[in-house]
Amino acid sequence: MQQTLASIDDIYYGLALLRSGMAHGCMIVSEAIGQDAIEGRLPGGPDFRLVAFAEDFNPMLELVTGVFARKGERQQYAPTHPLNMLWHAFAEETRSANS
């Protein structure tokens, strides 16, 4: 049996790959994204299901939030673009939390 691990940065591509049947597996996503796929707000499928992580991890799992962009990507957009606005808001929150 072949085992493959892939990092896919596009939720729609990942969901399409699973729906196509070309790959069988799972995606680690937030609970909200999983619910959206199951309930039809994202293109999921009838065989999709949400499986929660066990609660016995040590140390406990924590919600980690971040904003990611490819090198030079933010400069392609206006300062009012959602990516740049989120980036600046996250940077401000990080600065205020660390002071």
Domain locations along the chain: 1-51, 67-99
Decide which of 43 and 77 is more confident. 77
Q: Which residues contact 7 (CB under 8 A, 6 or more apart)?
A: none
Output b/e per residue, 38-75; b: 16+ Cβ within 10 A: eeeebebeeebeeeeeeeeeeeeeeeeeeeeeeeeeee
pLDDT value, residue 79: 92
What percentage of the chain exceeds 90 in pLDDT?
Answer: 8
Q: Work out the pLDDT band at 2, boundaries 50, 70, 90.
A: low
pLDDT value, residue 74: 92
